[in-house]
A and B are shown apart, each in its own frame.
Chain A
Amino acid sequence: KQEVTQIPAALSVPEGENLVLNCSFTDSAIYNLQWFRQDPGKGLTSLLLIQSSQREQTSGRLNASLDKSSGRSTLYIAASQPGDSATYLCAVSTTNDYKLSFGAGTTVTVRA
């Protein structure tokens, strides 16, 4: 069974600092990996999707890397802003119906 771990569970940084969020997974035979953002009481918003053949994806201030062989992904958020405060979830799919296995998330607070 795929196990997804996110460390740290919580992170607090001053505005302007770069954020580094880590995700590890036990089964490296994945199809894709997605990073999501969740605001309190809200659903999930997809940030980036990396296919298994890709090494990274970028969108604006966000960059996600994937190292399948070591079972790791890292989400970088440059020049953090208070609006980046949220919980960030990592999820992987290991079956061809692409159902997702999620980590418990990293809750980020960006202090103004």
Chain B
Amino acid sequence: GAGVSQTPSNKVTEKGKYVELRCDPISGHTALYWYRQSLGQGPEFLIYFQGTGAADDSGLPNDRFFAVRPEGSVSTLKIQRTERGDSAVYLCASSLYNLIQDTQYFGPGTRLTVL
């Protein structure tokens, strides 16, 4: 079946611009996570959705970052006034429920480059 998909795969933008990154989770998965991975590092947690609500946004670095999941499926990560330090690979993951045995399935990521 279809896995987690993310669009675009690559995004190049200029400092100060606004960007949106999209995540389509596996159909039927209720939990959705966003992570950010800088070069040579492991992914870092940004935000977690259970259904439509952001249950944990403690990883968002500042108020320029915002994410939504209005219908409990597709999610969009929004970054305002982008900075060069925002350059990274943004990964989305989904899991079936929110249970201890649930594996997180990751998408291929969006590589964001801020010039």
Q: Are A43 and B108 in contact (CB under 8 A)?
A: yes
Q: Does A52 contact B (CB under 8 A)?
A: yes
The number of chain A residues with a CB under 8 A from chain B is 26
A102 to B109, CA, bound (A): 16
- Mark each residue of chain A from 84 to 109: 1 if its CB lies under 8 Å from any CB of chain B, else 0: 00000101000111111111110000
Q: Are B108 and A99 in contact (CB under 8 A)?
A: no
A104 to B31, CA, bound (A): 24
- Mark each residue of chain A from 58 to 81: 1 if its CB lies under 8 Å from any CB of chain B, else 0: 000000000000000000000000
Task: Give the chain B neighbours of A97 by CB distance below 8 A.
Answer: 31, 48, 50, 55-56, 98
Q: Does A12 contact B (CB under 8 A)?
A: no
The number of chain B residues with a CB under 8 A from chain A is 29
- Say which one of B11-19, B68-76, B99-107 lies at the interface with A: B99-107
Q: Does B43 contact A (CB under 8 A)?
A: yes
Q: Are B104 and A43 in contact (CB under 8 A)?
A: no
Q: Does B66 contact A (CB under 8 A)?
A: no
Q: Does A28 contact B (CB under 8 A)?
A: no
Q: Are A100 and B40 in contact (CB under 8 A)?
A: no
Q: Does A44 contact B (CB under 8 A)?
A: yes
CB contact between A34 and one of B4, B55, B104, B109 (< 8 Å): that residue = B104
CB distance from B109 to the nearest CB of A (A): 5
Q: Are A49 and B101 in contact (CB under 8 A)?
A: yes
Task: Give the chain B neighbours of A34 by CB distance below 8 A.
Answer: 103-104
CB distance from A105 to the nearest CB of B (A): 6
Q: Which residues of A contact B (CB under 8 A)?
A: 4, 31-32, 34, 36, 42-46, 49, 51-52, 89, 91, 95-105
Q: Which residues of B contact A (CB under 8 A)?
A: 4, 31, 33, 35, 40-45, 48, 50, 55-56, 59, 91, 93, 95, 98, 100-109
Nearest 6 pairs between A and B by C-beta? Answer: A102-B42, A44-B106, A43-B106, A43-B108, A99-B45, A46-B103
